[in-house]
Amino acid sequence: QSALTQPRSVSGSLGQSVTISCTGSSSDVGGYDFVSWYQQHPDRAPRLMIFAVTKRPSGVPDRFSGSKSGNTASLTISGLQAEDAADYYCGSFATSHSYVFGTGTKVTVL
Task: Provide the binding-site residues for other proteins, judged by CB under 8 A.
Answer: 1, 3, 32-36, 38, 45-48, 51-53, 55, 57, 89, 91, 93, 96-104
CB of 93 to other proteins, least distance (A): 4
Kindly tell me which of 9 and 16 has the beta carbon lying closer to other proteins: 9
CB of 76 to other proteins, least distance (A): 18
CB of 1 to other proteins, least distance (A): 6
| 44 burial type by CB count under 10 A (0-12 exposed, 13-18 middle, 19+ buried) | exposed
Kindly tell me which of 16 and 95 has the beta carbon lying closer to other proteins: 95
CB of 90 to other proteins, least distance (A): 10
Q: Are 20 and 8 in contact (CB under 8 A)?
A: no
Burial 63-95 (b: 16+ CB within 10 A, else e): ebbbebeebbbbbebeebeeebbbbbbbbbbbe
Kindly tell me which of 17 and 26 has the beta carbon lying closer to other proteins: 26
Q: Are 103 and 5 in contact (CB under 8 A)?
A: yes
